[in-house]
Structure 1
């Protein structure tokens, strides 16, 4: 009887845990679809609004026509951006995205990303910098285009959530014999502890209202995680709310 009672209790406990897990997943699913709906709905309604205004007579004014068509085009571009990012994540998840491995200098790649976004950083007086001079190349073996996307997304995020007069700093360190770790650190807003576990989810927003005005698809960190994991590498995040964040990922050294 004691054994039977123990087995029944264990079964009940396991079932309770399973039900709780399913409830959490269901909540995530509802939140995800709600977020997808919001992200697609906003630019769709924007485009529709401008086109309807043009059809209602604004098309006769040449200046208004050009301005509204440009704004509608921006809405379409945002929709394309979101759909492309979703398509990429889907391909990464099912292993459909082929990685083109090559040897390249990660220092040079980071520098090129800095150059691409120095104007964006300058608007908030944020300094993009290395932690020290890297006079020699650091050669790694990975898909260069995808790793550039990883660095780009992380640098853009650090600017987006960085503080005025702040800093985004990149360091590249030896981890073990055949690995390096790339760290991207900022002294911006930081992330509250309860948000850290979910920041790599699709469309998950730490700031449910303000962050949307910054643009982007809301998929940047999810794409970063999938690309790094597709390389069979690791990504880490450490953050102190109000002080800043550090995202880091590993790469294989070139032989």
Structure 2
């Protein structure tokens, strides 16, 4: 319908122009009407044919392809179905939406590419550091193994420590990879989270005492809190979060575990009163090898994969983890678990 109106208006404009030119030279209304009528009829037929065959039909085809392919249909279905009575206007909207979607996809791909480059750089750095150290210790060991056996033993132990660090790195990377692909199954069982938290606190009590940090469990939440999850993996989550709070907590400070009962979940929080984290770092905190303070992180040890493993374990449980922090006040990690009666 709109195509006919467009052709009609165009034909009228051309025919009127030709009629006026003819009148200018002939000074006759008769010839004006004749030229106007012939021009209008001819233009209407020609324009309608050209627009229909070479423009409108192509727009219809483009619209059908864009619209149907966006819906996930294959090429045959996309070509065989007409879905709009006004494709000229609709195709503009479809193209805008598609262009916006492609722009967002490109932005995501750029971020992924940046993440890939950073990840490869971090992996390379994390592996090179202990490898170069091992190489240096072995070379020194070869020189002093006969002349200075005590020094040789010392360097041998240092090389062994770096081998152990490499082993931790490989195991952690392997764990993350298997969690992502689902190769590590989640063994759901019913257990009391309160008892698990107390076990982890006892496990890390000596490490906390060495830094003068007090581990506490809020008394009002010490009644049983039964959850459905993989007990050993949630144990790993708690160990990683509490160890993280001990590394970056304030000496002679405190780390507290809190449990909040929701409708069908428990919300667990691990809170410290340490140095805190700048807001700009929070979105990337769970990335592999992401370190806020590289120098201090290396002094404290660890692979830089602890929080990434925590995130992947909870995502495998279809649960979420979040973090909030204020500089010089402290940090809180919070995650959910399925509540079960």
Q: Do these two structures clear the TM 0.5 threshold for a shared fold by scoring above it?
A: yes
3-state SS, counterpart of residue 256 of structure 2: strand
- Aligned equivalents of 1:128, 1:190: Cα separation in 2: 18
Matched, 1:64 2:154: no
Aligned with residue 170 of structure 2, among 79, 83, 89? 83
Greater RCO, 1 or 2 (C-alpha within 8 Å, sep 6+): 1
Deviation at 1:221, TM superposition (A): 0.4
Larger radius of gyration: 2
Aligned with residue 106 of structure 2, among 4, 14, 19? 19
| Alignment CA distance shift 1:239-1:59 (3 Å) | farther
| Residues 194-248 of structure 1, C-alpha deviations (whole Å, 9 max, x = no match) | 1111111111111133212111110000100111111111212111222111111
Matched, 1:157 2:252: no
**Which residue does the alignment assign to 1:105?**
192
- Aligned equivalents of 2:222, 2:330: Cα separation in 1: 28
Matched, 1:136 2:254: no
RMSD: 2.0
> 5+ unaligned residues in a row in structure 1: which ranges?
none
- TM-score normalised over the length of structure 1: 0.91
Q: Report the structure, 1 or 2, having the larger strand content.
A: 1
Deviation at 1:92, TM superposition (A): 0.5
User: Does 86-95 or 233-242 show the bigger shift?
Assistant: 233-242
3-state SS, counterpart of residue 303 of structure 2: coil
Aligned with residue 196 of structure 1, among 277, 282, 290? 282
- Aligned equivalents of 1:105, 1:14: Cα separation in 2: 46
- Aligned equivalents of 2:224, 2:105: Cα separation in 1: 50
- Aligned equivalents of 2:145, 2:282: Cα separation in 1: 47
Q: How many residues matched?
A: 254
- Aligned equivalents of 1:196, 1:88: Cα separation in 2: 23
Deviation at 1:184, TM superposition (A): 0.5
